[in-house]
Each structure stands twice: as C-alpha cells, then as structure tokens.
A and B are shown apart, each in its own frame.
Chain A
Amino acid sequence: MAPSTPVVTKPSPTQEGVNWKPVLLGITVFLVAIFSLAPILWQLLTSIKTNADISRIPNVYFPREFTLEHYIQLFDRRPFLRYVLNSAFVAIVSTLLCLGLGSPAAYALARLRLKGEQLILGLVLIVTLFPYILLFLGLLEIVQILGLGNNYLALIIPYTAINLPLTILVMRSFFQQLPRDLEDAAKVDGYNTVQMLWQIVLPTTIPALVTTGILAFIFAWNEFIFALTFMTRETMKTIPVAAAQIGGATLFEIPYGPIAAATVLGTLPLVLLVLFFQRKIVQGLTAGAVKG
C-alpha cells in the first residue's frame, strides 16, 4: 500500500483509470441471476400468454395480451386443487413424522454414547446417496402386499424414510452444539430422558427443527418416482406427476399453456419457501452434507 495515501484504501477511477472489478462483478452477478431465473420466468410468461401468442413464430417475448385461461382450464378440466392438496398433505404429514422420529434418533446418536453409533451414522450417511430407483421395486411389493396403492400412506411412509437420514445428520449436528450443562441441569431437576427431550432440548432447537422441516418438505413435495408408481387414481396424484401427465393425456395438440401454468403453481410454494428461508436452507444443506 502506498504510504503517501494512507486514507485511500481502494484505487479510485480518477487516479488509475476505470476500476474494472465492480463492473465485472456486476455483470457476473447479473448473468448468474439470469441463468437461474430465465427458465422459470419463461414458463411464467408462457402461462399467461394467449394460445395464439404461444404458437407464434418468431416467439413473442413481450405479449400485448395476458390471459388466465390456462389456469382456469387447469382447475376446470382437472382436479388441480386436489393435486395441490395431495402434495401439501403428504409433504406436511411426512415432514412432521420425520421430525418426530428423526429428532429422538439424532439425540440418541449425539449424546447417549451408544455402542455402534459410528456404524449407524456411516450407514445413515451412505443411505442418503441411494437413488430412489433402487428402492421402488421392493417398495412396490410392500405396497401391493399391504394394499396401500392409492393410499396416502404409500407416499407418507417412504417420504418420511427418505428424509430421515438428512434429519438425523442435521439435527445431530445441532444437538452437539447445545451446551451440555443444560441437559445436566435438567437431569438433576428430575427430568427423564424423554421429558428432557420434549420439554428442554427440542424447545431450544426450534430453529434447527424449522431448517430441517423446510428441507424435508422440499424433498417430499418434489418427489416423483414413488408418486408416479404408487398413485394411479387421478384424485390421489401429486402435482409433479399430474403436471408431467398433462401432455400425455391428449394425442393431438400438446397443451403448452396449461403445462406452463401447472409448472408455475407447482413451483410457487417452493419459490416462496426459498425467498423466506434462504439462509436456513443453505445452513441445513451444508450441515447435512458437510458436517455429517
């Protein structure tokens, strides 16, 4: 650093010409934003264009006319509200179950010094790497034997399970950061382990539960292969499957507008989640992947 100008820490444009760094940074940030948003925005735009504009060549980027026709069509011709409710119900119930089963397990692995906990942790970690295609055949059999086809349980059970490893890893890393004194104080006060977990430990880890819950909800909402396989009745389908099958239903003309509208509606809850909980999502993902 030049000793003659101790006050100026950054070279100013007037002295050394144009300072390129902020400009370049601005451009790259803009590119990252465009890269991430463009496909979603294009789908949004398509969903409110008229059919005439959709099929115009060259493409219409800034239509003069907007319409909600595709959205109305979705709810008119299909039980779209039902799809949304199915997705929401299955995702919420499985998320709560997952927290309910995963947190105690995570606590046991974080604190109770069980024999073989390293082995269990290793298995849990490996299991997060399994693609669902490896599981669907065996699960299909279970679903058939128990007669769970077109039953919410056929999705709730696997969704709870596929989110358990992440829940266990993330919650365990949060539990380990808790001050041990708090639990010792609770033991001296007379709490047994279960009471302590419910009345002392979990209330102090609500932020961690929210983080984990958001991730579990996202994974459950987005799941495709089990929903595709176990839910064949129209009224039981979830959004991703239902949306993917809109095009397949008609042989003649592919309904681009309604597909776009379905995509927008199916992604909207997640866009909102990301907008509000960006920090928590990042924190949870890195805790689950890196620290585990």
Chain B
Amino acid sequence: MSNALRTIRGREHLTGWLLLLPALMLLALVFAYPILRAFWLSLFIENLGTNLEPVFTGLGNYVRMVGDGRFWQSLWITTIFTVIAVTIELVLGMAIALVLNESFRGRGLARTIAILPWALPTALIALSWQWIFNGEFGVWNDILLRLGILQEPINWLGEPGLALASTIAADIWKTTSFVAILLLAGLQSISEDLYEAHAIDGATPWQSFRQITLPMVMPQILIAVLFRFAQSFGIFDLVQVMTGGGPAGSTEVVSVYIYATVMRYLDFGYGAALVVITFLILVAVVAIAAFLLSKAQNRTEGV
C-alpha cells in the first residue's frame, strides 16, 4: 500500500476506490447478497412443515417446481402479459413520440402531460384502474353501455380472461410514456436534413419512416424493449393491487406467486428457488437482447 501511495497514479487509484467503495458495498448488500442468498436458500426446505428451520434438500425445490402447475401457469401468464404489453406499448409509444416530435404550440405542455403516467406511483394507478374497471360503478362499463357496444355491464376484474386484459391495459397506460420518452430522444437526434434529402428523392412519408426513422431509432427501440421486458417480467405492484392475482389465479404473474409463496405460505426455500429461476430467465433474455443491441448499434454507426 505504501508503494501505491508513492506515485501520483497510485494515489489517484486509491482515492478512486475509496470514492467507489461505499456505493459498491451498498449495491452488494441490496442486490448481490439477496440473489446469492436465494441460490443458497433454494437448496433447503424452510417452511411451516420444518418449523421454519432449514433442511437440506439439494435440488429438491427445483424438482418440485417441475411438477408445480401453478408455477408453470404463472410463467405462462407472465409471458403473455409481457409480450402483449410490450408490443402494444412499443407501437403506441412510437406513435406518441412521433406526435410529440412535431412542432406545434403547447408542445412543452403536451410532453409534460404525456410523461405524467410514468411518474405516478404504480400502486395508486392500480387503484384508479380498479375503479375504472369496477363491475358495478366503473366508468369503462358506463362508456361502453352508452356507446351501445355493451348491452349489460361486465365484471372486468371478475372474469379470468378479462381480468388479465384489464391489467395489461392498465400497464400499457402506465408505461407507454416511458417508451415514448426514450423513443422521442432517439427521434430528436435524427437530423432534419436526412428527411429533406429523402423527400427530394421522392420518398413518401411512410417510406421515410421505414427507411430513415426506424433504422435510426433502432438502438432506442431495443433499449426500450430491454427495460420494458425486465420491468414487465417482474411486474408486481399493479397486479397485486388490482387483482391480487385473481380471479382463480388468472392474473397470477410470477412475482405475485413468489410473494404469496414467501409471505402467505411462508415457504422460504421454495420461494428462493422461484427467485433463482426467475433471475436466470431474466439474465438469459437480457444477454440475448444486449447482444442484439450491440449489433444494432454497430449497424447504425456504419450508416
């Protein structure tokens, strides 16, 4: 250590690590430790059956998971939720970003309004949508009835398929603005000259969108997909508050199942195994996405 302090670089290095250390320690405590701990805990049975004492079971929890229909169902529901929500958010987010990228009076205010949904607490937004989709007094029923689309009110959150659709709708409302913000940043970085040159060449707006806009914002699109995939795959607040996973487990996404396993059934070992598998799925998908992202970035830099 005294040797490192002798040189300018050595002192600089030491200071650097000292500045970094508190943050790294906190990150290790809150992110690394729980994940590693879950790997360890997943090798034990620790539930009411063992009086909450850990009993080594090896891969027993994972074997149990293979035959756990509720787990597979939650995984399937999560996948449907994620695919539908992220796809629609992307299309809708792109549309909103394109609109907000135009110049018009009051654009600042429009942008402010558009990012509002993203900034608000998900749990409270879930309450709002629970009320909107209320089977008795909900405004969604009321609108559809007045328009003549429905003949009688529907219990949106009471029917399995409809409940999932309703939670997806709420999620789309909440997070489309996040996608729009990211895509808008990408759109703003495209030079107006490109469009003008393209228009002089005789391109239609649709061709311009396909040949200039889409390729140029591809990095932002992929980043948005990456973030949204991770958030959506781990979605908890919205579903927990809106439906609690019901009716009949029809909206029970993985997070809600994990939470119930740990907090309601006090099945810590199995809950840990669920955490590990969710973590691994997430890492795998993120790795693939990151790979695609770096490829896309190389391609746009080549343009």
Contact = CB atoms under 8 A, between A and B. Distances in A.
Contacts of A22: 104
Interface stretch (A63-71, A74-82, A123-131, A205-213): A123-131
B168 interface: no
B15 interface: yes
Interface in B261-300: 262-263, 268, 271-272, 275, 278-279, 282-283, 286
Interface string B162-197: 000000000001000110011011100000000000
A238 to B, nearest CB: 9
Interface stretch (A2-10, A11-19, A134-142): A134-142
A229 B263 contact: yes
A266 B124 contact: yes
A158 B33 CA distance: 12
B233 interface: yes
A57 B137 CA distance: 7
A interface majority secondary structure: helix
Given A108-B20, A224-B123, A278 B111 contact: yes
A141 B53 CA distance: 13
A38 to B, nearest CB: 9
Contact of A165 (B27, B104, B112): B27
A32 B117 CA distance: 11
B35 interface: yes
Contacts of A135: 30-31, 34-35
Given A101-B26, A194-B15, A282 B31 contact: no
A105 B19 contact: yes
A59 B220 CA distance: 42
Interface residues of B, number: 95
Interface residues of A, number: 95
Contacts of A136: 34, 259, 262
A141 B272 CA distance: 12
B37 interface: yes
B127 interface: yes
B255 A131 contact: yes
B20 A114 contact: yes
A36 B100 CA distance: 13
Contacts of A138: 33-38
A33 B13 contact: no
B122 interface: yes
A141 to B, nearest CB: 7
A266 to B, nearest CB: 5
Contacts of B237: 224-225, 240
B84 interface: no
A99 to B, nearest CB: 11
A59 B132 CA distance: 11
Contact of B16 (A108, A241, A289): A108
B139 interface: yes
Given A32-B96, A39-B125, A160 B26 contact: yes
Listed from nearest, the 8 A-B pairs whose CB atoms lie closest are: A131-B234, A138-B34, A161-B30, A112-B16, A105-B23, A240-B123, A104-B19, A129-B230
Given A58-B142, A142-B34, A229-B263, 9 more contacts: A26-B104, A101-B22, A127-B31, A130-B31, A133-B254, A137-B271, A137-B275, A224-B121, A290-B185
13 contacts: A29-B99, A33-B113, A36-B177, A105-B20, A112-B13, A127-B27, A134-B275, A135-B34, A137-B272, A138-B36, A266-B124, A274-B112, A286-B182
Interface of B: 12-13, 15-17, 19-20, 22-24, 26-27, 29-31, 33-38, 41, 95-96, 99-100, 102, 104, 106, 108, 110-117, 119-129, 131-132, 134, 136-137, 139, 142, 145-146, 173, 177-178, 181-182, 184-186, 219-220, 223, 226-227, 230-231, 233-237, 240-241, 254-255, 258-259, 262-263, 268, 271-272, 275, 278-279, 282-283, 286
